[in-house]
Amino acid sequence: MKVGFIGLGNMGSGMAANLIRNGHEVTVFNRTPSKAQALVEQGARQAARVADACQGDAVISMLADDSAVESVVFGDAGVAKNLHKSAIHISASTISVALSERMAAAHAASGQRYVAAPVFGRPEAAAAAKLFVTAAGAPDAVDACMPLFESYGQRTFRFGSNPADANLVKLSGNFLISSVIEALGEAMALVSKAGLDEHEYVDFLTSTLFNAPVYKTYGGLIADKKFEPAGFAAPLGFKDNRLVLAAAEKLQVPLPLASLIYNRFLTLLARGGASLDWSAFSQLAAEDAGQTVLAARLK
């Protein structure tokens, strides 16, 4: 397919590379143009403006947060004004339910199609085409996107025709991951303060009842204390925590665990942890227990 790709950060650069590898004709745009260089060498065309990335069958946006997506989608120079009629905007970023609803309305008003397709998996999974895609939108539009999803994902899950439902699923998933980070942080603070080896402990967990990718990935990161460079930066994790709380407030669904984790993020950021991986907040349980794992890295 002829596709534009906007947002070449940790996730977008790997996704765009896989689109090229799978034979799609890819035009890339990034706010910081130098980040497109490696993809140009792999065969991408570089767009000087957002509008130049909107000339194909579809354009994928993979940007940090709501305000980044708003600045790229709306306004005269944005996606909504420049995408061809019946072309598809695929929003892969983790954004609010409210913004996804706004984009669905704007694209419908312009005769364009809109699919929300946020992804699960960290940058290594994006580079290895192992993402899980959660997609929602008009069935014909999602069908048309499948060759793109199959280029960077290992499996696509469809959540009906209301795009914002896919965003809610994504936010609920990150809430679950953050709950695992908190629970692992607490359990590992307990055993490590008693002198047990954290790697052996994670190996035990993930070989028995907790044999799941999320425990393997985050158990490993926490045992290694490997929070830099950030695969998923703490401010982005905090953004998802706030977004799930906003969605829950609208639906009147209390999420007491998410409220606890909100304060974990606030503590991590207040102490200078913005450049760390979001999983670094796991160490706050150890700090509460008098361990000083983060002390060297934080104020």
Q: Which residues are catalytic?
A: 170
- Among residues 63, 222, 234, 293, which is the contact residue for ligand NAP, using CB under 6 A? 63
Contacts with ligand NAP by CB under 6 A: the residue count is 26
Cα distance between residue 295 and residue 191, in whole Å: 20
State which H helix or E strand residue 100 sits in. helix 97-109
Residue (39 or 286) nearer to ligand NAP, CB: 39
Residue (153 or 201) nearer to ligand NAP, CB: 153
**Residue 173 in the binding site for ligand NAP (CB under 6 A):** no
Please give the residues from 93 up to 122 whose contact with ligand NAP meets the rule CB under 6 A.
93-94, 119, 122
**Residue 7 in the binding site for ligand NAP (CB under 6 A):** yes
Q: Which stretch binds ligand NAP (CB under 6 A): 64-72, 145-153, 260-268, 282-290?
A: 64-72
User: What is the per-residue DSSP string for 118-148?
Assistant: -EES-HHHHHTT-EEEEEBS-HHHHHHHHHH
Instruction: Tell me if 3 sits within 8 A of 25, measured CB to CB.
Output: yes
- Among residues 9, 56, 137, 163, which is the contact residue for ligand NAP, using CB under 6 A? 9
Could you tell me the smallest distance in angstroms from the CB atom of residue 9 to ligand NAP?
A: 2
**SS3 state at 182:** helix
What is the chain's percent helix, strand, coil content, to nearest 5? 55, 15, 30
Question: Shortest Cβ contact with ligand NAP: which residue?
Answer: 9
Instruction: Tell me if 59 sits within 8 A of 89, measured CB to CB.
Output: yes
DSSP 8-state code for residue 281: G
**Binding residues for ligand NAP (CB under 6 A):** 7-12, 30-32, 35, 62-65, 67-68, 71-72, 93-94, 119, 122-123, 231-232, 236
